[in-house]
Amino acid sequence: MTDPSGGGVSGGALVPSVVKTFAEEDMTGIGSRIRQSIPPPPVEVVEDQGDESESGMGNHATTMEVKEAGDRDLHCPICMEMIKDAFLTMCGHNFCYGCISTHLNNKNDCPSCGHHLTTSNLYPNFLLNKLLKKASLHQIAKTASPAEHLRLALQQGYNLSVQELDSLIHLLVDKKRKKEQEEAETNMQILLEFLHCLRKQKIDELSEIQKDLQFIKADLNSVERHRMELHRISERYSVKLRTVHDDSFKTKLRSPMVDRHDNPMVSNARNVLSGAGSRSLYDRKVEMKSQGNSEESQRKEFFCGSDPTHSLVQSGLAVARKRRIHQQFNELQECYLQRRRNGLKILNQQEEKDTYSDPNTITRREGYHAGLEDFQYVLSTFTRYSRLRVIAELRLGDFFHSANIVSSIEFDRDDELFATAGVSKRIKVFEFSTVVNEPAEVHCPVVEMSTKSKLSCLSWNKYSKNIIASSDYEGIVTLWDVNTRQSVMEYEEHEKRAWSVDFSRTEPSMLVSGSDDCKVKVWCTKQETSVFNIDMKANICCVKYNPGSGVHIAVGSADHNIHYYDLRNISTPLHVFKGHNKTVSYVKFLSTNELASASTDSTLRLWDVQDNCPAMIFKGHTNEKNFVGLTVNKDYLACGSETNEVFVYQKAISKPAAGHKFGAFNLNDIDNDTSSYFISAVCWKSDSPTLLTANSQGAIKVLVLAT
């Protein structure tokens, strides 16, 4: 069949492909001669061109299959790569010499057909090696750049005249110069852009620093003015006290003088001494002077304090607080700048909204600029305490019983009683004043109630002082009357262990619980079944009502997140707070807008539930597998650690402000390893630096923040 184009090529014939070469600007002759020096590439099978619409894709596929089959024939059956240093076996198979030698060292057979084979039956295949070399060169020629074509031609010994070499050199030099110029311009452009970016960044940083310096300068002036004002007030008060003291002192001096004038015996004695002339005028002046010095020293003692150790103690406390500032200077600096900037933003927003300002607000702003008062409070609360001091301790249960883990410890509504619960299957209620004021190694509880299962959590009712709720390992939520020591209600809807229970502060008849059955259930003390439940699709470890709302709850779960719900619409959470890397074990509210969480990733986190954003991350304790407790008040967070320590954090500083390590509780523990013990429960006394702590050994300590 003849090709329609008139080329005289019949179907299935072998035709050479075309090889592209480098540019032929003024180099037509040289280029054609170099092309001729390069061996032709491998031939390709071309199918007869029929109907293009029907056979075009088929012809292309057939060509590709033939090429792939040919390429596979040039591959070593062992390494599946292009054969290198080809050797032929007696059975007619080709291998890389290195591959077949390694194979025959382990097994004497042909890898392709299995016939017996030894190294003496291997022969070099020179023809195949030559073909492989040419195929390699053709492959390079197909994919190589024009420069590579030229280099290959010169390496193969192609001879060029001097004029041709000069022309090539001139062309290459000119090309090199242009490339160098372009590269230099590109490098300059990149450098220029970098310097512009760096300059802008540094200008922004300088502007930020200048603003910070303005803040600091203004705050320094404000603090100095406030300090001078306090000093003047103190001086005026001192003068007033001194005047009162002088009047009282003169009155005391005048009274004996009157008595001496009125007493005849004193008058006679004075006459005798005067008549005798035993005392000179100089002696009387010295006496009056010493009397005046004594009076002045009495004044100094009155105003400055007669005990010199008092001033030394005050000086020592000031030094300790300054040392704490220097230890956490970088973090305090960031805290100051953040609050100062945020305060300025809030101030500007208020000025834009308010046309008329409150005079008291204006006075406060003129005295202390926005944010400074907030930071002063942070600095004061952080440096106020440096340690936790033990004021009482007691031991629950049997000294020789290992199952004494206290899972929960909670104060009642008035902070007069506190209750404990854990694996001992007992709720024990103690009177706080008795524990603190009557130190004893073992205190008897005022109330004790037995349960059927191990307990996980307690929650006192915020309205009825005698009602307390518990959750246990069987999933039962129980309401107890402390006065009668009996259960008044049992809720058994949870299918697995219930980890947490909490009474609402604003709706005392409502409580919420969370369980390993992945459900959050809301209960009402006036009915026997749950009001509704939320299916979370993850194990629930903690639940907590917002203290300012009866419809908002926070839920911590094994999915590493905190889900914040409005109970009026439980189909979807208001917000999901993400950041923890492991299970969220506790959630607690510092205020209506501040939520704290603890996780087994050894961190505490503070969240803003109003703006739905993270506020702070606290690190310093160890918590990887156990529930170690979390408690909060308006300024501090406290948690346990798996190192048998309790740590206290100021809510604006990420590192611990104070800590205390539980030691051996009795002599039997001194020789034993106490590293396996951990803090299991903590609880603040309301609006107080007093902290209840319990550990897995059953030891309870009453701690107080101290300087």
Q: How far apart are CA 9 and CA 3, in angstroms?
A: 5
pTM of the shown model:
0.65
Question: Region 177-186: what's the mean pLDDT?
Answer: 94
Residue 91: count of CB within 10 angstroms of its CB? 14
Residue 263: count of CB within 10 angstroms of its CB? 12
- Only one residue has tokens 């062992």, namely 78
Residue 674: count of CB within 10 angstroms of its CB? 15
pLDDT tens digits, 252-265? 655 555 454 455 44
Q: Is the same domain home to 479 and 539?
A: yes
Q: Is the same domain home to 138 and 181?
A: no
Q: Is the same domain home to 112 and 196?
A: no
Highest-confidence segment of 76-90, 316-330, 635-649, 671-685: 635-649
Q: Is residue 254 within a helix (H) or strand (E), and if so which, with residue range?
A: helix 162-262
- Range from 100-104, 264-268, 368-372, 441-445 carrying the lowest mean pLDDT: 264-268
Picking from 489, 450, 452, the residue whose alpha carbon sits closest to that of residue 467 is 489
What was the pLDDT predicted at 299? 40
**Chosen domain end from 192, 215, 238:** 215
CATH of the domain at 450: 2.130.10.10
| Mean pLDDT score across all residues of the chain | 79
- Partner residues linked to 221 by β-bridges: none
Q: How far apart are CA 483 and CA 447, in angstroms?
A: 8
What was the pLDDT predicted at 351? 66
What was the pLDDT predicted at 149? 72
CB 589 within 8 A of CB 554: yes
The count of C-alpha atoms lying within 13 angstroms of the C-alpha of 553, restricted to the half-sphere facing its C-beta, is: 30
Q: Is position 488 within any domain?
A: yes
Q: How far apart are CA 419 and CA 694, in angstroms?
A: 12
Residue with the larger pLDDT of the pair 623 and 66: 623
pLDDT tens digits, 658-679? 999 988 655 455 445 566 899 9
Band (353; pLDDT cuts 50, 70, 90): low
What was the pLDDT predicted at 450? 93
Q: Is position 645 within any domain?
A: yes
pLDDT tens digits, 568-605? 999 999 999 999 999 999 999 999 999 999 999 999 99
Q: Is the same domain home to 112 and 185?
A: no
Q: How far apart are CA 615 and CA 611, in angstroms?
A: 10
Q: Is position 251 within any domain?
A: no
What was the pLDDT predicted at 658? 92
User: Looking at the 3D structure of the chain, how many domains does it have?
Assistant: 3
Question: Region 377-401: what's the mean pLDDT?
Answer: 81
CATH of the domain at 91: 3.30.40.10
Question: Region 230-251: what's the mean pLDDT?
Answer: 74
Q: Is the same domain home to 456 and 577?
A: yes
**Chosen domain end from 215, 240, 263:** 215
Torsion, Cα 64 70 76 79, to 10 degrees, reads: 0
What was the pLDDT predicted at 244? 72
Q: Is position 582 within any domain?
A: yes
Q: Is the same domain home to 207 and 94?
A: no
pLDDT tens digits, 273-300? 344 444 444 444 444 444 445 444 444 4
Q: Is position 578 within any domain?
A: yes
Q: Is the same domain home to 211 and 90?
A: no
**Chosen domain end from 143, 166, 189:** 143
pLDDT tens digits, 428-451? 999 999 999 987 767 889 999 999
Percentage of residues in the chain with pLDDT exceeding 70?
Answer: 73
Picking from 558, 563, 565, the residue whose alpha carbon sits closest to that of residue 539 is 558
Q: Is the same domain home to 428 and 527?
A: yes
Q: Is position 106 within any domain?
A: yes
CB 691 within 8 A of CB 634: no
Whether residue 362 is predicted with pLDDT greater than 60 in this model: the reply is no
Q: Is the same domain home to 206 and 112?
A: no
Band (331; pLDDT cuts 50, 70, 90): confident
Residue with the larger pLDDT of the pair 346 and 688: 688
Residue 615: count of CB within 10 angstroms of its CB? 15
Residue with the larger pLDDT of the pair 706 and 303: 706
Q: How far apart are CA 249 and CA 297, in angstroms?
A: 13
Q: Is the same domain home to 501 and 558?
A: yes
What was the pLDDT predicted at 10? 38
Q: Is position 579 within any domain?
A: yes
Band (538; pLDDT cuts 50, 70, 90): very high
The count of C-alpha atoms lying within 13 angstroms of the C-alpha of 525, restricted to the half-sphere facing its C-beta, is: 20
pLDDT tens digits, 296-315? 444 444 334 445 455 555 67
Tell how many helices (H) and how many strands (E) occur in the chain.
14, 33
**Which domain covers residue 547, as residue numbers?**
386-664+674-706
Q: Is the same domain home to 138 and 185?
A: no
Q: Is position 97 within any domain?
A: yes
Is residue 111 packed enough to be buried (19+ CB in 10 Å), middle (13-18) or exposed (0-12)? middle
Q: Is the same domain home to 527 and 615?
A: yes
Question: Region 13-41: what's the mean pLDDT?
Answer: 43
